[in-house]
Amino acid sequence: MGQRRTANEQQRLHRSAASKLASSKLVTMTTEGTPPLLDFHNLCVMRGQKMALDGFTLRIGADEHVAILGPNGCGKSTFIRTITRECYPLLRPDSSLAILGEVNWDVFDLRTRLGIVSNDMMLS
């Protein structure tokens, strides 16, 4: 029981630190004159009847390296599918989405500019 509390406390501390890091990432500016790779503001994405991303905001600068980590079902794949335009956010007046500085993309052109590796692409 004591070990479990310690693990839970460590998880809470880790989440708190990750939350603070994510918050600081959102205010990090990109290289001057270069648009961010991703600029998502208040996105909501549905997968079936479930809200997979709800109020999701993230900015990744051109000079940043990012890893996407999280437990099963937290929205990692939906996030990637939103980048590749396989999933689309709900149309809301207070949300915006820009990829490589562009709001509108030809999907095929966009996908030629992305390098995404996923288990979903594996042949069975």
pLDDT digits (tens, 9 = 90+) for 64-116: 888 888 999 899 999 999 998 989 999 999 999 999 999 998 888 988 888 87
pTM equals 0.66
Q: Is residue 24 within 8 Å of residue 54, measured between CB atoms?
A: no
Let me know if 40 is exposed, middle or buried by CB neighbors in 10 A (0-12, 13-18, 19+): buried
Torsion angle defined by CA atoms of residues 110, 96, 44 and 81, in that order, rounded to the nearest 10 degrees = 10
Q: In what helix (H) or strand (E) does residue 59 lie, and over which residues does it extend?
A: strand 50-60
User: Which CATH number does 28-119 carry?
Assistant: 3.40.50.300
Q: In what helix (H) or strand (E) does residue 21 lie, and over which residues does it extend?
A: helix 2-27
Residue holding tokens 């205010």? Answer: 27
pLDDT (average), residues 12-17: 46
**Any residues with CB less than 8 A from the CB of 31 and at least 6 apart, and which?**
61, 62, 63
Tokens at residue 6, please? 């310690």
Residue 19 has pLDDT above 80, yes or no: no
